[in-house]
Amino acid sequence: MLDHFGDAKALEYRDAVLDPVLIAMMPDHFSIENASSWLNTDSFATWVAQEMQRNAPMSPSKSSAAGSRDASRAPSMKTPSSRLSSRAPSSTPFRTTPKVQRFATPVEISDDSEDDLATVATPSKRTLPQLNLKAEPDEAAISLRRKSKAKREIIEVSSDEGDDVAPLRKKARPTAARKPRGAVQITRQLTCDKLIHLTELPTCWTIPVDGLRTAYFLDLTKDTRKWATDDGESMSMATIIKSQDQDAWGGTGSGGSIGRASVVMALDSVKCQRARHSCQGIYHCNQLDMSLLDGCERYVPDPNQRRDLWEAERKINEQEGSTVIAKVAMFYKEVQKKRCPHVSNGGVQCAGLPVIRNLKEISNDGKRHFIGCSKWSRSDPAYQHRFVSIPIDVHEGHLRHLFQNKGAFVDDGSLAEQLRVHSGKCGNVQLPRNGGRGKQECAFTHINEQGQIVQGKLIQRACKATITIYFPVDRADRRAIVLLEGPHNHPMPASTKVSWDGKALYKNAVEAVGVTGATVVKVDSAQSTSNIVGGSDPSACDPALSRARAKRKIIQKVKATVAPHGNSVIGVQHRMLTDRESLPKEDLYIHKVDVDHTTVVVTMLPALAARIHSAKYSLHDNTYKRLHGDWKEWEVVIWDDRLNMRLTIARIYCQNETRDAYRRMWSGLWNTIGAVTGEEVKFKFMHGTGLRAILVDGNKPQAEACGDDLLSRNNPDISKYHGRDAMEILPFILRTCYIHFDRFLTKLSNAVDDATMKRVRGCIFLETAEELDAFKKFCEESPHKMLRDWYSDKKHCSWFFPSLNQFFSKMSEEDWFLTPGHTNLNESAHPFTNQHTGINLSLLEGIERAPSGKSLLLYRRKIF
């Protein structure tokens, strides 16, 4: 149907039927190349018929000859000397698709697009609709497109002035009739006047300005680079061209169906796909000084065209923090953007607005106010709604006025100069890859002449420059024909897009350093990186590599290649299964991934884990810095007397710190050690040999879960312990770190008197049950709320005081004095681990980098 009516009619239908806002938002989707996706053929045919009826007269004119017709309905093209049929019109309705009369002699024309075809026309037996075209009243011409597999041709016919038949007048492509055929044949329908040969990829293309139709012949045949995607597939020439181009092109990037490929004579008649793109322009703040862009026409890449924009942005940068009201306005904008974090019991997000409220006392920063929520009520839990402290460098008086005046400064004469500074125009211009995303808000502060804070919006400046690429279907053929039409209406973009070369270079640098745990700082500072890029800074090879965000993105892609299943639990499971198939049992590190209820991952090296069978005690503590998000790492440390050193024998990962989660961690630890070493872990109070003590940091769920697991392992026939209370079994083996206990006492000392503190500190040295009962009563009746709350939390923990005080512990005196009363061995391991593995790692990266340091070295030397 498009072949019959033409592209122009389809675009006219689009503009008449579809919402122009929708077309502007999605220009690529509603392009003529993508017509199959948005054009409904039935609706289009009906619309065309209605348009033809609307423009045609109800009946042929009977009162005047053709020479005296209204000029507004006269044809616009001169008619050759042949005649139209003078057959009388029929009373039956006209045919919307006239019959085509075939002629033997074609008239060759030139065309500048393979989609623009010449049309022919024939007389009809019925009344034909007349289009409203301007022309000389004594001439008429008809051209009608006919569908044929043979060579397309234009047929010219003429009409007598006295004919009563109203001819069909359909617009023809003016370029088809006016432009002479060029000297260089590109495709069967497309020619050009000049062909420029290139052997290197431009980063910004020059658009011809000499009036000649010019094409570029890009030949990368001698280019030794292996152009391939991240998946290893060979890149098309269109993709290669766009990967190096700093301008933002959008459109039908796929190049259409291979089955509809064109034969390109300029490329030795190979079959080629065609990709046609439009420049996506730029995004700029709606407060921009438009004189920076007005009249801009870019044909030739010129970095100097950016200078005025660059200077304007530097100026607005200087102004941003140059006045007191600017800092106030920036803080006001930020608090307005963030919503209140409170969620009701029914799951409803709080819709409260930020308001300024009074503090009960002056803050340490000297502020009397804070930013609260308008929906807050005294019945709500503390700190559940918005609570934002006012920064020390924000003027509290001006901020209060802003909230009172709905975001407007009230000038009493003292702010005139400051308001003048910020009432100027903006200089913020962004490329589509940045400005076309997110909320599209300008990051700079704008204040109008009335003192009102204005949120700048990023709007698109459309550009009419286009690029057409003919590239071979054969991906091994590194040639292409490129045609550009323009000009651009914006300056040459800055080099913020990393080229294919830059990506490949930095990818090699990442792999040289090591993918696991790779960061921008680590890669940039490595000597191997300096050797690869040929200098000290990667940006020396590609200016876009000066942006840390661009380098992080490359690192993430490299990591995704190494870990195709991701770096979270699924990736860990995949790595565990892969290792089981490829590694011997003694080298396996990930042993268990339990995802029931709560996820628990158990890791250890069998040879290191076996050292627990000769250890006197084990230490257990969480560390939080190494892993990103809510993952916790539970380190298990022992002191090895034979080696006279600390060993981290296992690491367990979990996202929760509940009693059930710790129960799974304890059972996972002891069961896995038994499985990988072939020997069950023994506890002295149960088996007469084995671990004398288990040291923890005082975490209540951790200790109680330890009791649950020990009780499940107890065999009364061997241990002679017949109790069924998990809390009563803990005093036989559990010790709480007194340094962690002392940290609480330090906090408590800020809230109670010295006499009270002296008695609390002495609780770990009490010797009789009567003294302990008196201490408990002292805490319970204390006038200090903090002390009462602390004891209320420990009141039902029968294991707590025995884990701190030898006189109430059920451990033997020997076991008590042969085991430490603190977890410093464990605590001191955290900084060492963080230093060697890094922090804020993903789960899989944290697991892969954990088995390092001296313990791993000893394991590899097999000195155990």
pLDDT per position as a tens digit, 806-834: 999 999 999 999 999 998 887 877 777 77
pLDDT given at position 31:
82
Residue 301: name the closest of 146, 465, 111, 141 by CA: 465
* Cβ proximity of 731 and 828 under 8 Å: no
Reduced to 3 states (helix: H, G, I; strand: E, B; else coil), residue 67 is helix
Dmax (CA) of the chain: 131
The answer, yes or no, to whether residue 156 has pLDDT greater than 60, is no
Q: Quote the CA–CA distance of 431 and 283 in Å, as a whole number.
A: 6
Final residue of a structural domain among 810, 829, 852:
810
| Same domain flag for 198 and 219 | yes
The answer, yes or no, to whether residue 72 has pLDDT greater than 70, is no
pLDDT given at position 108:
37
The answer, yes or no, to whether residue 734 has pLDDT greater than 60, is yes
What is the reported pTM? 0.59
- Is residue 28 in some structural domain? no
| Same domain flag for 638 and 669 | yes
Tokens of 35: 């017509």
Local confidence band at 237 (pLDDT 50, 70, 90 cut-offs): very high
| Same domain flag for 614 and 752 | no
pLDDT, tens digit (0-9, with 9 covering 90-100), for 413-447: 778 888 887 777 888 999 888 777 778 889 898 88
Final residue of a structural domain among 429, 453, 485:
485
The answer, yes or no, to whether residue 68 has pLDDT greater than 70, is no
The answer, yes or no, to whether residue 98 has pLDDT greater than 50, is no
- Is residue 798 in some structural domain? yes
| Same domain flag for 611 and 647 | yes
pLDDT given at position 85:
34
| Same domain flag for 606 and 705 | yes
- Is residue 767 in some structural domain? yes
Considering Cα of 830, then 831, then 837, then 840, what sign does the dihedral take? positive
| Same domain flag for 514 and 639 | no
DSSP of 603-644: E--HHHHGGGGG-SEEEEEEE-SSBSTT-EEEEEEEEETTTT
Q: Quote the CA–CA distance of 758 and 735 in Å, as a whole number.
A: 23
- Is residue 694 in some structural domain? yes
pLDDT given at position 533:
84
Least confident span in 130-144, 572-586, 694-708, 769-783: 130-144
| Same domain flag for 697 and 617 | yes
In the 8-state DSSP scheme, what is residue 305? G
- Is residue 432 in some structural domain? no
- Is residue 239 in some structural domain? yes
As for how many domains the chain has, the answer is 4
- Is residue 646 in some structural domain? yes
- Is residue 543 in some structural domain? yes
| Same domain flag for 634 and 611 | yes
Residue-range definition of the domain harbouring residue 773? 738-810
| Same domain flag for 828 and 764 | no
Most trustworthy range by pLDDT among 413-422, 508-517, 655-664:
655-664
The answer, yes or no, to whether residue 298 has pLDDT greater than 70, is yes
pLDDT given at position 158:
36
| Same domain flag for 694 and 634 | yes
| Same domain flag for 694 and 743 | no
| Same domain flag for 532 and 506 | yes
Give the Cα-Cα-Cα angle 763, 822, 664 (nearest 5 degrees). Answer: 105
Burial class, 240, CB count within 10 angstroms (exposed 0-12 / middle 13-18 / buried 19+): buried
Rg, the chain, Cα only: 40
